[in-house]
Amino acid sequence: MRQLYPDLWQTSLERPVPGEPKAAAHAYLLIRDGGNVLFYNTGREASGKPGEDDDLRKIEELGGIAHQLLGHWHEASPSLSKIKQLFGSTLAVHERDAEAVEREAGTTPDLTFTSRHTFLDNVEVIPTPGHTHGSTAFLYRSPHGRTYLFTGDTIVPSKDSWLAAGFEDDPGQPNLRQSLELLRGLEPDVVLAAGALGDQTFKEVSRTEWQAAVDAAAASLR
């Protein structure tokens, strides 16, 4: 794991897509009063390699996990059960992705959400359907001065540009396009995707850079 900001840590690099060596994934641990939050999932590879539990040991040193928030069901794996058992954390996902999470991970989400709202006092839940039916972004305004936007796989970095991908029943991607337009109106300082094509899954952005990123992602759908 590595520390990105005073209250935010990134888990080790994973390659979760078979046959796609450029696809990268990380989870992010937010250190906060009221309980730490893990965005996305870690340990999905279940490689059995020595040291694969290093992240979980470091997370324990940092105060553990109170809540784990998934951006979409593609992040689900049996490691979700392991994390719940180790830390007693609650697992939350959009209602429309809950059944798929249970199927893929063998564990039932503790909490589900359906609409945009503030969760845990200071984490904004923003449904962004299109990549999956229950894709969700999360916005957090850090007391250390930056605003973090966790976009799941709705919009991801790709080399020097950004991509968006719709996989589930969304012909022509109207839902995903609306979600991108919603995200375009936000003002993050740091955008942290669940994955990327390349090793860099997060980027610092200005307002203009973020709008250009969303425009590039929307153009990638054409």
Burial of 19 (0-12, 13-18, 19+ CB in 10 A): exposed
Mean pLDDT (whole number) for 149-160: 92
Bridge partners of 141?
A: 147
Tens digits of per-residue pLDDT, 69-126? 999 999 999 999 999 999 999 999 999 999 999 999 999 999 999 999 999 999 999 9
Identify the CATH number of the domain in which residue 111 sits: 3.60.15.10
pLDDT band at 159 (very low <50, low <70, confident <90, very high): confident
Angstrom CA distances, 29 to 96, 161, 172, 217, 218, stand at: 24, 25, 35, 26, 29
Full domain range(s) for residue 101? 2-219
Total-model pTM: 0.93
SS3 state at 145: coil
Mean pLDDT (whole number) for 120-133: 95
The total number of structural domains that make up the chain:
1
- Give, for 160, the enclosing helix (H) or strand (E): none
Q: Euclidean distance between the first and final Cα of the chain, in Å?
A: 37
